Amino acid sequence: MSVAGSAFTVALGLSAAAAVAGLAAPRRTRPLLVGLGTTAAGVAGVVAGVAALGGGSFSAWLPDLLPLAGVRLALDPLGGLFVAVTGAVAVCAAVYGVGYVAPNAVEDGSHGDGRAVQAMLPLFVAAMLLVPAAASVSTLLVVWELMALTSLLLVLAEHRRRAAVGEAARWYAVMTHLGLLVILAGLVGFAAAAHGESFAQLRAAAGGMSPAVRGAVFATTLLGFASKAGVVPLHVWLPRAHPEAPSYVSALMSAAMVNLGVYGVLRVGLDLLGGGSRWWWLLVLAAGAGSALYGILQAVVAVDLKRLLAYSTTENMGLVFIGVGAGGYFAATGSRVLAGLALTAGLLHLVNHAGFKTVLFCSAGSVLRATGSRDLDALGGLRSRMPVTTALFAIGALAASALPPGNGFVSEWLLLQSLVHALPTSATATAVVMPLAVAVVALTAGLAVATFVKAFGVGFLARPRGPGAEQARESPPSMLAGTGLAAIACVALAVAPAAVLPGLSRAAGAALGAGAVDSVHGPVTLRLTGFAGSMSPLLIAVALLAAAVGALAGVRSLVVRRARRVARLWDCGAGPMTARMQYTATSFAEPLQRVFDDVLAPETDVDVTPTAESAYLVERVKFQARVPDRIEYRLYRPVLAATRMVGEAARGLANGSVHRYLGYGFFAFTGLLIVLAVIR
C-alpha cells in the first residue's frame, strides 16, 4: 500500500479510536484523549493528502462494508488537497478544543465535554476526510450524510445554554438535508444514465451523454454543493449555525467543511462531467460574485463577532467560486493555461481561507470564553488583557482583509491576474463578464478591509465597553497553541506561497483533466506562466517591515530629542471620558450602511412613551436598529409561511377518526387501481 493509503487508513483508525475514547473515557481525561486522537488523525490526514498531492494515489474497494454497493475509496491530487486542508484544520481545532471544553470562571457548566459531543468530533473529522476520498456515488452520499449528521450534533452541543442553538440547528438540518436531496437526485440520475456508479464508470460514460442530461446533472448537484459552501442565496444556515456552534466546531465547519462544497463542484463538474458548456461556469461565476458581495456587505454591518466571521466565509467561498467558475469557463473556451491559473488561484484562496478562518474563529472563541460575549459593542480593551489572542486575531484579520503582507493578498492577486489576462478577447461573454468579476473582487477586497478593521479595532483595542471585557483573562495554553499553529500556517502561506503552488497546480490539473502545468512558478518571485506578471510576497513583506521599523525609529528619535511634558488627556475639561464615548461596531459601519442602504435595507424602530400628564413630556424612548438578512426575509419567509399554511390545511384532514383514515386508505387504493387500469 502506498504512503497515501496507509496514512489515510491510520487517520481513519485514529479517528475511530478517538471516538471510542470519547464514549468510554471518564470526564476528566476525555477531552485530552479525544484531542490527542483527533490531532494525530489530522496529522495522518495531512500526510495522506500531501502524499496524494505528490502523485502517490491509492484506491480501495471494500465490497462488504456497505450492503448492495460496497465502499469505494480513491485519492488523487484533487482529493488529496482537500484531505490535507481538512487534516490541517482538524489538528488546530483539536488542540484548541482540549482547552475550550475545560470548565472556566466566566461561563458555568461544561462547554461540551459530554460523551456524545466528544465522540462526534473525531467522527466529523473522519467524515470530512472521507468525502474527498469517496470514489463512487453511494460512498460519497453516505459519507456526505455522515458529515452532515455529525456536524449537526456538534452544532447542538450548547443547546441547553441558549435557545438560539436549537433554531440554528433546525435551519442547518433542513438546509443540509435539502442539499443532500438535490445532490442525491443529481448523482443518482447521473449514475442511471451512465449504467454504473463508480466514478471511473461515470467519467467514461459522461462523454457520450446528451448536453441536456449533463447540464441537468450539473445544475442539480451545483445547487446542493453550493448550499454546503454557503453560497448566496443558499447561505442562510451559515450565519446561524456558525455563531451558535462551539468555536472549534465553527472553525472546522467554516475552514474545512464548506470547502467540500467547492470540491463537489470541481469533482462533478470538471472531473466527472469533463467540463461542459460555458453557461455552467458562468452560473458558478455569477453565484460566486453574488456571494462575495452580499457576504462582505452583511459582514461589514454585523455586530456579532462570530456572525461577522460566518458572513466573511460566504464572501471567501464566493471568491473561490469566482476562481472555479473562471477556470471552468476558460477550460470550456479552450484556453487551458488561463484555466489552470484561475483554478490555482481559487484553490490557493481556499487554502488561505482555511488558514485565516481557523485563526479567526479560534480567537473569537477565546474572546467568547473569556468575556462571555460575542457582541462587538460590548467588547474592547482586550489588547492588554489578552495580548496573545489579540496578536493572533490581528494576523488573521490582516490575512482576511487581503492586504499585503497577508496571505489573502497573494491569492486575490492571482485571481485578479487570471481575470484580467482573459481580456484581450473577441468573445462577447468574456468581455462582459470578466471586467465585472474584477470589479466585484476589488470592491469585496475594499469592504473586507473595513470589516476587519472594525472587528479588530472595536473588538480588541481601546477601552472595554462591558463588564465581561473588563474581567477578561488570557486563554489556556492549548487554545493559544491551536490558534497559533494556524497563524504560523498563515504567515508561511503569506511569505512562501511557492511551497504549496506546485501541489495546487497538480490538483487543478487533475480537475481539468490535463497534465500538471505549473501556472505560477518561481521560488521567491511568483511569475505567471504564459503571461506577463510577477509579484514577490516575501520581498513585499520585507519591504513593509523595513518601512514600518524605519518609520517607528524615525518617530522615536524625534520624540526623544525634544523636551516632553506629561499632560492630562484632553477631555474638553469635562472630566473622565467613559467607554461609551468610543466608536462602536455599529457607529463604525454606519457610513457604509448608509451607502448600501438600498441593498441592506436596515430596519430602525423608535418607540416614544409620553408621560401620563402630557403628550409633550417624554418618559422613555426606545430605539432599535438592526440589519436583517434580506434574502432570508424575501426568499425564505414566504416559502416557510406557505409550507405552514399547507401543513395547517392538511391538519384538517386528520381529525383522529379511525373510520376516516380507513376511508383514505380505501379511496387511495381504488384510485390507484383505476389510474393503473386507465394508463396500462
Partner 1 sequence: MLSLLRKIRATGRVAEPAPPRPAAPGPDRAVELGGSVQVRHVDAGSCNGCEVEIASAFGPVYDAERYGARLVASPRHADVLLVTGPVTRNMEVALRRTFEAVPEPRLVVACGDCALNGGVFAGAYGVVGPVSDVVAVDVEVPGCPPAPEVIVAALRGLTGR
Considering only residues 379 through 438, tell me which ones interact with partner 1, judged by CB under 8 A.
none
In the complex, what is the shortest distance from the CB of residue 580 to partner 1, in angstroms, rounded to a whole number?
A: 21
Site string for partner 1, 294-333 (x = CB under 8 A): ----------------------------------------
The angle formed by the CA atoms of residues 459, 469 and 377, to the nearest 5 degrees, is 45
DSSP letters, 477-520, are HHHHHHHHHHHHHHHHHHH-GGGTHHHHHHHHHHHHTS----SE
Nearer to partner 1, 567 or 676 (CB): 567
Considering only residues 474 through 533, tell me which ones interact with partner 1, judged by CB under 8 A.
none
In the complex, what is the shortest distance from the CB of residue 555 to partner 1, in angstroms, rounded to a whole number?
A: 18
In the complex, what is the shortest distance from the CB of residue 410 to partner 1, in angstroms, rounded to a whole number?
A: 42
In the complex, what is the shortest distance from the CB of residue 567 to partner 1, in angstroms, rounded to a whole number?
A: 6
Please state, in angstroms and as integers, the Cα–Cα distance from residue 198 to each residue in 57, 218, 272, following that order.
Answer: 17, 17, 10
Nearer to partner 1, 574 or 612 (CB): 574
**Residue 284 host element (H or E):** helix 278-301
Nearer to partner 1, 565 or 622 (CB): 565
Other Cβ atoms closer than 10 A to 68 = 6
Rounded to an integer, what distance in angstroms lies between the CA atom of residue 223 and that of residue 347?
A: 20
Nearer to partner 1, 572 or 658 (CB): 572
In the complex, what is the shortest distance from the CB of residue 560 to partner 1, in angstroms, rounded to a whole number?
A: 18
Nearer to partner 1, 560 or 574 (CB): 574
In the complex, what is the shortest distance from the CB of residue 113 to partner 1, in angstroms, rounded to a whole number?
A: 54
In the complex, what is the shortest distance from the CB of residue 540 to partner 1, in angstroms, rounded to a whole number?
A: 37
What residues does 607 pair with on adjacent strands? 622
Q: State the number of binding residues for partner 1 (CB under 8 A).
A: 8
Rounded to an integer, what distance in angstroms lies between the CA atom of residue 227 and that of residue 223?
A: 6
Alpha-helical runs (H) found in 131-210: 137-155, 163-194, 199-206
Site string for partner 1, 571-610 (x = CB under 8 A): xxxx------------------------------------
Nearer to partner 1, 570 or 616 (CB): 570
Q: Residues 6 or more apart from 18 whose CB is under 8 A from it?
A: 33, 34, 36, 37, 38, 40, 41, 121, 122
Q: Residues 6 or more apart from 185 whose CB is under 8 A from it?
A: 220
Rounded to an integer, what distance in angstroms lies between the CA atom of residue 414 and that of residue 604?
A: 41
Question: At residue 433, what is the residue type?
Answer: V
Give, to the nearest 10 degrees, the angle between helix 137-155 and helix 163-194.
180
Rounded to an integer, what distance in angstroms lies between the CA atom of residue 461 and that of residue 380?
A: 5
In the complex, what is the shortest distance from the CB of residue 568 to partner 1, in angstroms, rounded to a whole number?
A: 6
**Residue 418 is placed in which grid cell?**
487570471
**Residue 22 host element (H or E):** helix 3-24
In the complex, what is the shortest distance from the CB of residue 559 to partner 1, in angstroms, rounded to a whole number?
A: 14
Rounded to an integer, what distance in angstroms lies between the CA atom of residue 463 and that of residue 481?
A: 26
In the complex, what is the shortest distance from the CB of residue 574 to partner 1, in angstroms, rounded to a whole number?
A: 7
Nearer to partner 1, 207 or 573 (CB): 573
In the complex, what is the shortest distance from the CB of residue 562 to partner 1, in angstroms, rounded to a whole number?
A: 11
Per-residue exposure over 418-451, b if at least 16 CB sit within 10 Å of its own CB, e if not? bbebbeeeeeeebeebbeebbebbeebbebbbbb
Nearer to partner 1, 574 or 679 (CB): 574
In the complex, what is the shortest distance from the CB of residue 572 to partner 1, in angstroms, rounded to a whole number?
A: 8
Nearer to partner 1, 565 or 651 (CB): 565
For residues 229 and 323, the answer to whether their CB atoms sit within 8 Å is no
Nearer to partner 1, 567 or 639 (CB): 567
Nearer to partner 1, 559 or 621 (CB): 559
Nearer to partner 1, 562 or 580 (CB): 562
What residues does 100 pair with on adjacent strands? none
In the DSSP assignment, the letter for residue 277 is -
The angle formed by the CA atoms of residues 180, 340 and 320, to the nearest 5 degrees, is 45
**Residue 416 is placed in which grid cell?**
485578479
Nearer to partner 1, 574 or 606 (CB): 574
Site string for partner 1, 537-576 (x = CB under 8 A): ----------------------------x-xx-xxxxx--
Question: At residue 636, what is the residue type?
Answer: Y
In the complex, what is the shortest distance from the CB of residue 458 to partner 1, in angstroms, rounded to a whole number?
A: 25
Contact set with partner 1 (CB under 8 A): 565, 567-568, 570-574
